[in-house]
Structure 1
Amino acid sequence: MAITIILGSQWGDEGKGKLTDILAPEAKLCARAAVSHSTIDRGEHLLIGD
């Protein structure tokens, strides 16, 4: 099973969304993760389940 990862290392729009739109029809699963230093610095957490 092949895994494709689209990364961006710059600030703002780098064309990641357009590339995702091109590759998504062939994918069985698409996941998105976004983390910024400001979220971590403020101590915010997402809790799922117990």
Structure 2
Amino acid sequence: MTTLIVVGAQWGDEGKGKVVDYLASQAQLVARYAGGNNAGHTLVIGGRKLVTHLVPSGCAYRGRRACSGQGW
């Protein structure tokens, strides 16, 4: 099993959400350890736009297990 971790280094505004969305669409398990309501995610899945602020983008894909830590 391969593990991939995405870590930001610029206070969350470096655009890693687009990369995470792409990776989440192919993952079996998506985990988020923390986050705040300022962490907006805009996803387009099957031609439909979905905007979230607290829910990790991996939750939007069927058949993916999503885990979260404390803090959100």
| Greater relative contact order, per chain length (Cα 8 Å cut-off, separation 6+) | 2
Q: Indicate the RMSD between aligned Cα atoms, in angstroms.
A: 1.7
Point out where structure 1 has 5 or more consecutive residues left out of the alignment: 36-45
Q: Which amino acid aligns with 2:7?
A: L
TM-score by structure 1 length?
0.58
If each structure's helix is expressed as a fraction of its own residues, which one has the higher value?
1
In 2, the alpha carbon distance for the partners of 1:34 and 1:9 equals 15
Provide the residue aligned with 1:25 in structure 2. 25
SS of residue matched to 2:21? helix
Point out where structure 2 has 5 or more consecutive residues left out of the alignment: 36-69
Give the Å deviation of 1:3: 0.6
If each structure's strand is expressed as a fraction of its own residues, which one has the higher value?
2
**How many residues are paired up?**
36
Q: Which structure has the larger Rg over C-alpha atoms? A: 1
Give the Å deviation of 1:25: 1.3
Provide the residue aligned with 2:13 in structure 1. 13
TM-score by structure 2 length?
0.43
